[in-house]
Amino acid sequence: MRPQGVDRRPARVALVHDWLTGMRGGEKVLEQIADLFPKAPIHTLFHFPGSVSPALESHPIRVSRLQRIPRLRRHYRSFLPLFPGAIERFDFSDFDLVVSTSHCVAKGARAPNGVHLCYCHTPVRYAWDQRDAYFPDDGPLIGWLRGRLLDRLQRWDRTSADRVDAYAANSHFVRRRIERFWRRSATVVHPPVDVEALGAAAAAQGREDRRDREPYLLSVAALSPYKRHDLAIAAARRLGRRLVVVGEGPQRRELEHLAGGDGRIELVGRVSTERLQALLIGAEAFVQPGIEDFGIAAVEALAAGTPVVAAADGGVLDIVVDGEHGFLYDPGDGLEGLLGALGRAAGASLPVACLRQQASRFSRERFRSAFVAFLERSLQADLFRRLELYG
């Protein structure tokens, strides 16, 4: 005879994501989590149809009132002050489990009758320690107004952090940020990377011998100041090397000016998956001068058999062992540090098999296993048993 009062219904699960405007690292994490819960609706501030994978768009997608703003696609960043209130207006009272994936406000969702677990990419950078890296100097008045708005966002960010029952962080670096800014602990669950596809593509192209690599450096990141593409460009110009930069963003015009007109520095914008794979496989080294919360592109480079040259801070310390999978330098040494690391890379030959073995630590299968283990540790046994996990 079954004990009375035990809930046997399948758990009702909701997913929350900041916004759906493209398939970047955060959306690839969401895609894997959503695959575990194929019936779960995705709640997001706004969604631009066709901008994310068919797998994500197969879920019911529920948007906030911000979706109605005219010309939102072009100007959505301007409405940042409205984001906290919009995420709080979602009603999750009918759900047993809310899983948010957050780099901005998603973790502020309220789950009054259920458990809230958050996969955190980072506490909001521009509300805490990276304001100067994100925003230009627009004069004292605008700077003062922006500062007041960001102070308000910071207070909300700290207060709303307590709505989450348990955190997963994408790196040890982010775990420390969560402890520092929110005074919360977190379990490190590294994000998923499709290392198998890159390994297969590299094998198909027959690029196992590093001496066959074309002489160019590669950088893949949004064209934003904190990514420090300016250092990569300066280093390439100093060394007379070819550099290919993949990505788009607000700094493009400034970086085009820094690149000069001799054609050695190529800003190619967004590229297809196939072209990105080819660029990763063909590069002599992958250059990451900015401090990343994790760094999926660095893992992709290793999976392609390409060593990483990076500033020794942030999530890259979870990925690269200096001298084994690439070459790290003190970020405080700036351009000279990057030049020194590139010099070490030019005189070294790292085994491709070693690079790919390191990348395999961040496969999608390992992510799913680690995330399910996080769910099991964070939930009461009866709720975990009621989850209809797929795959």
CATH code of the domain covering residue 70: 3.40.50.2000
Same domain for 231 and 293, yes or no, is yes
In this prediction, residue 125 carries a pLDDT of 82
Are 119 and 166 in a shared domain? yes
* Claim to verify: residue 173 and residue 234 sit in the same structural domain: no
pLDDT per residue as tens digits for the range 6-42: 667 899 999 999 999 988 889 999 999 999 999 999 9
Q: Assess whether 79 and 156 both reside in one domain.
A: yes
- Strand blocks (E) in 172-304: 187-188, 216-220, 242-246, 265-269, 285-288
Confidence of residue 3 (pLDDT cuts 50, 70, 90): very low
Domain membership of residue 330 (yes or no) is yes
Confidence class for position 210, pLDDT limits 50, 70, 90:
very low
Q: What is the signed CA dihedral for 44, 46, 51, 52, rounded to 10 degrees?
A: 0
In a domain, 1, yes or no: no
Judged against a pLDDT cut of 90, whether residue 4 lies above it is answered with: no
User: What is the three-class DSSP state of 82?
Assistant: helix
Distances (CA, A) of 208 to 22, 200, 201: 32, 11, 11
pLDDT band at 1 (very low <50, low <70, confident <90, very high): very low
* pLDDT (0 to 100) of residue 145: 78
Torsion sign across C-alpha atoms 369, 295, 180, 338: positive
128 in Cβ contact with 181 (< 8 Å): yes
CA pair distance 234, 377, nearest whole angstrom: 47
Residues 133 and 146 grouped into a single domain: yes
Same domain membership, residue 369 and residue 295: no
Q: What is the pLDDT of residue 113?
A: 96
**Selected residue with higher pLDDT from 187 and 144:** 187
Q: Is 223 left (phi over 0), alpha (psi -120 to 50) or beta?
A: beta
Statement to judge: residues 310 and 381 lie in one domain? no
Whether 8 is covered by a domain: the verdict is no
Task: Give the mean pLDDT of the chain.
Answer: 91
pLDDT of residue 206 exceeding 80, the answer is: no
pLDDT in tens, 158-181: 999 999 999 999 999 999 999 999
How confident is the model over 98-152, as pLDDT tens digits?
A: 999 999 999 999 999 999 999 999 998 877 776 666 666 666 776 767 778 888 9
Q: Do residues 344 and 375 both lie within one domain? A: no
Name the DSSP letter for residue 15.
E
- Tell whether 210 is covered by a domain: yes
Are 302 and 376 part of one and the same domain? no
Q: Note whether residue 391 is domain-resident.
A: no
Q: What's the pLDDT tens digit per position in 305-334?
A: 999 999 999 999 999 999 999 999 999 999
Q: Are residues 315 and 205 in the same domain?
A: yes
- Nearest C-alpha neighbor of 47 from the set 88, 8, 15, 81: 15
User: Is residue 5 domain-resident?
Assistant: no
346 lies in the same domain as 373: no
Res. 87: pLDDT tops 90:
yes
CB under 8 Å to 208, separation ≥6 — which residues?
202, 305, 352
Residue 91: inside a domain: yes
pLDDT value of residue 136:
60
Residue 358 corresponds to which amino acid?
A: Q
The per-residue pLDDT for 71 is 87
Q: Residue 31 sits in which domain range? A: 13-192+363-386
| Residue pLDDT, tens place only, 333-390 | 999 999 999 999 998 889 999 999 999 999 999 999 999 999 999 999 999 999 988 7
When comparing pLDDT for 269 and 135, which is higher? 269
Do 102 and 132 share a domain, yes or no? Answer: yes
Count of structural domains within the chain: 2
Tokens of 76: 């959505």
Q: Are 347 and 340 a contacting pair, CB within 8 Å? A: no
In a domain, 316, yes or no: yes
